Amino acid sequence: MVWVILIVLVLLGVFQFNYYIELKKYLVFKDMESSITTTLPLPEGTFTLQYLHSVHKTPVYEMYSVNDRGQLILTETRFSSLGVGMPYTPEEGTFSNEDGEFRITGLSRKYNQLPLRISSIPGHTVIIRRQAYPLVDFTKPDGLVIIHAVKKWAVIKR
């Protein structure tokens, strides 16, 4: 019995020397038709949702962060044309025009989840650390995807 305890302690020491456990944030995409989920790591706790505006046919970028409660926080929006469907009120954030790109910064809209009807036409894409993930890869055309965040324990090699 003593040998078993010693072996377990040695193995725990080796594990602790080479690995550590950390609570990490992940973005989850649930296809509501098939119930299949895809989970992507969020190393910096941020992501961008990119799509083409349905009226202007110009790109829109929505920047999100994930708070400690797992809420998705819209922090900034970038777009290249003003008009229909591009809401802005001064109480929400700071509006600016930088090199022909309109920006609304200082936003703090909180969402527990983002339901999106996915189509290849607007090109819904999530960008995490410069890596693009087209949302049509997670559902069939016109499928409903629910995006939310979770925290999970991860074993990380030192």
pLDDT by residue for the chain (158 residues), tens only, comes to 777 777 766 666 656 667 777 889 999 999 998 989 999 999 999 999 998 876 667 888 999 999 999 999 999 998 877 765 565 666 678 888 888 888 889 999 999 999 999 877 778 899 999 999 999 988 888 889 999 999 987 777 77
Tell me how many helices (H) and strands (E) the chain has: 1, 11
Please tell me whether the overall predicted TM-score, pTM, comes out greater than 0.85 for this model: no
User: How far apart (Å, rounded) are the C-alpha atoms in residues 146 and 138?
Assistant: 10
